[in-house]
Structure formats: structure tokens, C-alpha cells
Homo-oligomer: A and B are copies of this chain.
Amino acid sequence: MTAKIRRARPDTLTDMPITIPVILSGGSGTRLWPLSRRVAPKQLQLLVGEMTMLDATLARVAALGERIMVISSGRQDTAIPEHVGPQPVTLVVEPVPRNTAPAVAAAALLAESDDVLVVLPADHHLTDEASFVRTAEEAVTIARGGRLVTFGIIPTGPETGYGYILPKDRGSSPIDKFVEKPDVATAAALIEAGAVWNSGMFVFPVGLVLSELDQHRPGLVDAVRRAIRSATIDEGRVMLGPEFGDAPAVSIDVAVMEQTKQGVVVPLAAGWSDVGSWSALWELGERDADGNVIRGDVIAVDSNGSYLRSEGPLVAVVGVDDLVVVATADAVLVTRRDRAQDVKKLTEQLRDRPES
């Protein structure tokens, strides 16, 4: 069979090329343990404000496209709405996680070759949604001209945890090179030279991204095509077949963006955060007079600059500075704000535990 979501329902039948937001919701956000877990990843949690990041991302793209695709694991089924306003949402379920390149291939194969995909992770936060929509519309126009667009975030400092993209020119520009997680000095030099952060957000013409995937990762698209042929389709949910597991687990950055000659980076100034660690949530949160971000049943005595959160038990801190304390019903994390990235180390140790 050939599943094509543009024509999936008679009432939305159209032969015009459309823009399809594709939300990648397969991640598990291990650096936000113990709140974010495999069974309840960070995009489904109330982390910033009163909306999950998945819902915020769905709302963000409502203005951009006629249909929305969410690519995810089966575990999140119940969290994915069937509509966002009037727009139907197609859930594409991966039988196994395979990073972003196979997910993009699946979305592209489910669209028509003249459609455009706006690919966004489900677990990023933006403070300026209107600015994002304006920039995304510009990116769609560039993509329709036969380019693979990535959004570049204006750096706020020489962070070492991100990938950097050096454009050839200022503004929207072809890409000179990618630099993954540089040291501080290299990061500072890159910023000086006009580099931006790799956001993991893209706009792709369907035909072009498929041909570039075929060229740079032969076999990947074929494996995903077989998984779509054997997919189970039910009420706008596409369960990909087991052949999806034959595709290599590789990011779209590595598989295509770092290889292609058609790449363009579009700078994005929209208050972006990948909410990659508890320290990011401290930065995004509302700080009290002591510089603490507090959520839930927490008492802070003589304590400053800390992210303090409870999902149940009373959390009391006395005389501590710059910590992260997060308590759920069955687990407690205590770390320093400047060590919050290392929570990943911990979750690697925890992998063998049930429900970690």
C-alpha cells in the first residue's frame, strides 16, 4: 500500500503542495530525571508554564501547515491529540527508536514529493512564538526554492553542549561548516565568526530530503519505505512495520545536513531553549528574591539560586546554594546547577531499573 497523509481523508483532498509540520516526539529527556522517564518523557511533563512542551509545540505549528504529523513511540499514544483546532494530527509510531533521520524519512514518504516538512522536536521551549512563525514562513519560502533549511539560534554564550553552524554570510545563508560540541575557546571563536547553535529544527522539501538521504545513506529510505508498506493504519495513526528497525540510528544532521551542498541556515531569535537540563529550567523559571525557582511543596531556609521542585513529598532545604533538588513520589535527585548535565551519567546507571 501507499499511505499518503495529504489524501488520507476525502474532505481534505487537495492536489496543491502543502506544508506539513512534523513533530519529533521520540526522545526521553534523560537529563531531566527523575521527572522525565522513558514512560513519561519531558515533552509530556508540565515543566515550563502550564502546558506540556508537546502541546506547546502543537500550538506553535498550527499556523504553519494544513496537517500535522507527530512521530513518536507507542508509549505516548494517549498523549497525542487527534486534532489541534481543526487540523488533523497523524501519529506515526516507531516500533523502535532510530534517531531523527529515519523519522524524517518516514514523514517524507508519507507526504507528497512536492510538500514541505517543518521538522520540530517536541521538547523545545520558545518564548517568542510570533517571531518563530515569521522566521518559519521565511524558511518555508527558502525551502520551496530547493534548499534544506536548518534554524540557527543566536548564541547567548560559548556553551559547549551544543553543535555550532558557521554560515558563509550573515543572515539566511548557505552553510560553511558544522562543529559539534566545541571547547569553550573554540566556541567563543566560532561565535566571534558569526556561528549559531544547531537547533535541531528544519524545513525540508520532501523530494530533496529523500534524494539527499538516498545519496548520503543508501538503504535508509528503502528500509523506512518497507516499514510504511507493512504499516498498520488506524484512525489517522500509522504504526510502522518492524522493518523500521533495519534503518540505521542516525541523526538527520549527520546523515544529511553535514553532507549536503543544499543546506541553508536561517537565524532564529525566538527565546529558544532545548530545556536540556534542570539548569535550563532554573533559567526559564520565575526566580524569587533569593534566586530560587520553586515548584510544589517546598520550604527553603537560608538557600539561594536553586531549582527546587516536588511532585509529592515535602522538600525542605536549609543553607544550600545553587543546587537542583527534584523529588517525585519514588525518587529524589540532588545535584549542583552547574553539574545538571551529568544527570545523564546517572540515568545510564539506572537503565537496568524498572520504570527508570
Contact = CB atoms under 8 A, between A and B. Distances in A.
Interface of A: 33-34, 299, 301-302, 310, 312-320, 323, 325, 327-336, 339, 342-343, 345-346, 349-350, 353
B333 A332 contact: no
A327 B313 CA distance: 9
Nearest to A308: B334
15 contacts: A34-B316, A302-B339, A310-B332, A313-B328, A316-B334, A316-B350, A317-B335, A318-B334, A318-B336, A318-B343, A318-B346, A325-B332, A325-B334, A327-B327, A332-B332
B313 A335 contact: no
B313 A330 contact: yes
Given A302-B339, A329-B313, A339-B302, A320 B334 contact: yes
A333 B350 CA distance: 23
A317 B33 CA distance: 11
Contacts of A323: 320, 334
Copies of this protein in the complex: 2
A180 to B, nearest CB: 24
Contacts of A299: 346, 349-350
A330 B33 CA distance: 19
A332 B311 CA distance: 12
A332 B342 contact: no
Given A313-B329, A319-B335, 6 more contacts: A34-B314, A314-B331, A314-B332, A320-B335, A320-B336, A325-B334
A323 B321 CA distance: 11
A320 B349 CA distance: 17
A318 B301 contact: no
Contacts of A316: 33-34, 331-334, 346, 350
Contacts of A353: 314
